[in-house]
Amino acid sequence: MIENERSTQDRAIFENYSINIFMPSMCSRPIAKEIDLYQMIYESNLDIKLEQILIGLTKDNESKKIREAIYRFLLYLQHAAENFWVTFHKAKTYQDRLECYYQYTKNQCLATEVLIRDLNSLSDQDEVKENLSSILKEGFTF
């Protein structure tokens, strides 16, 4: 009986701890369009490879259309992250939490595919000289 109570207490402590330890520190203010794109990339808590790709892309191409495509991508990722944490906290089981994470990663992949498509359409207009699709796919793989 005592072991069962302790097990329940340990599980409650672990669940509270695990929720807080994996929650990224989100910017408390909404991202405004006037914010520096480099700052947005940094505050988005991206995978380091993707962060480097976006920073390099931004540095190498001053095109307003490319910056807008990256901006839309970052806003979508921010929205997906916020939705993840809302549904994660409502989940009652670890299976539900894993399903939340699975949906979140699918949303990240979808956002990346949209960014690749947008950048490819810009490259067709001779604004981007390299094959951005292969660069992004290489840097953002699971």
User: Would you state the pLDDT for residue 17?
Assistant: 39
Question: Which residue pairs, CB below 8 angstroms and at least 24 apart, start in 91-95?
Answer: none
Rounded Cα gap, residues 43 and 38, in angstroms: 9
pLDDT tens digit sequence for 93-134: 999 999 999 999 999 999 999 999 998 888 665 545 555 666
The pair of structure tokens assigned to 1 is 């009986």
Domain boundaries, the chain: 2-139
Torsion of CA 59, 64, 65, 69, to 10 degrees: 60
What pTM was computed for the model?
A: 0.63
User: Would you state the pLDDT for residue 44?
Assistant: 87
pLDDT tens digit sequence for 49-99: 999 999 998 888 878 889 999 999 999 999 999 999 999 999 999 999 999
Read off the DSSP letter of residue 130.
S
